[in-house]
């Protein structure tokens, strides 16, 4: 064989081998029920701590979950910031923003198509003075442990929040 033919055969072999070992997309792949229930348990504990004004515990939980890679100074600042925010949320108007939490609903579960290891839950909490939307994003590690990957909240109108492009990016 001449060099050109050998090169072409080798290139075709490499391309076909690459396609053979490429991962296939499985759009039906989704988090299992026990994973979803574990995440709901995390949120339940979170809201119980918020109801009972355990703001320090909440701040520590968030820092240990999403701020694990921060240095001690950054963690300390973040902890104080979260405690202050939870105190403001828990204080009734006009001194605070929302007041005592008196209930919550899971209003959305969504996952990224093709992934059974990353998903989000959105909750609506009911307070004396207003409602708050909470977004929890969860990651499932290699040992199938559910970890909080992100938490955020907003007091925007829930209908506006749920129609934002960021929210719509996650397909149910």
Domain assignment present for residue 5? The answer is no
Domain assignment present for residue 117? The answer is yes
Q: Which helix or strand (DSSP H or E) is residue 132 part of?
A: strand 131-140
9 φ, ψ (degrees, to nearest 5): -65, -45
Using 50, 70 and 90 to split pLDDT, how confident is the model at 16? low
Residue-wise pLDDT tens digits, 105-164: 999 999 988 999 999 999 999 999 899 999 999 999 999 999 999 999 998 878 877 777
pLDDT beyond 50 at 172: no
Residue-wise pLDDT tens digits, 27-72: 888 999 999 999 999 999 999 999 999 999 999 999 999 987 889 9
CATH number at residue 84: 3.10.450.50
Domain assignment present for residue 148? The answer is yes
pLDDT beyond 50 at 93: yes
pLDDT of residue 6: 66
Q: Whole domain around residue 36: which residue ranges?
A: 31-168
Domain assignment present for residue 61? The answer is yes
Domain assignment present for residue 113? The answer is yes
Number of domains in the chain: 1
Domain assignment present for residue 74? The answer is yes
Q: Which of 138, 131, 128 is nearest to 161 (CA)?
A: 131
Q: Which of 109, 96, 156 is nearest to 131 (CA)?
A: 156
Domain assignment present for residue 11? The answer is no
**Residue with more model confidence, 72 or 170:** 72
Domain assignment present for residue 9? The answer is no
What are the strands of the beta sheet with 101-111, ordered from one edge? 101-111, 118-127, 131-140, 146-154
């Amino acid at each position: 064989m001449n060099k050109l033919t050998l090169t072409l055969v080798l290139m075709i072999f490499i391309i076909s081998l690459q396609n053979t070992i490429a991962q296939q997309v499985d759009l039906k792949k989704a988090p299992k029920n026990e994973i979803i229930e574990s995440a709901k348990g995390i949120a339940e504990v979170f809201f119980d701590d918020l109801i009972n004004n355990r703001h320090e515990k909440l701040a520590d939980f968030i820092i240990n979950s999403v701020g694990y890679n921060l240095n001690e100074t950054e963690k300390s600042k973040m902890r104080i910031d979260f405690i202050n925010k939870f105190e403001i949320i828990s204080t009734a108007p006009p001194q605070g923003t929302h007041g005592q939490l008196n209930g919550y609903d899971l209003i959305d579960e969504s996952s990224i198509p093709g992934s059974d290891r990353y998903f989000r839950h959105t909750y609506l909490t009911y307070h004396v003075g207003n409602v708050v939307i909470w977004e929890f994003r969860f990651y499932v590690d290699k040992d199938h442990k559910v970890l909080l990957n992100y938490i955020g909240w907003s007091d925007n109108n829930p209908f506006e929040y749920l129609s934002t492009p960021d929210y719509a990016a996650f397909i149910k």
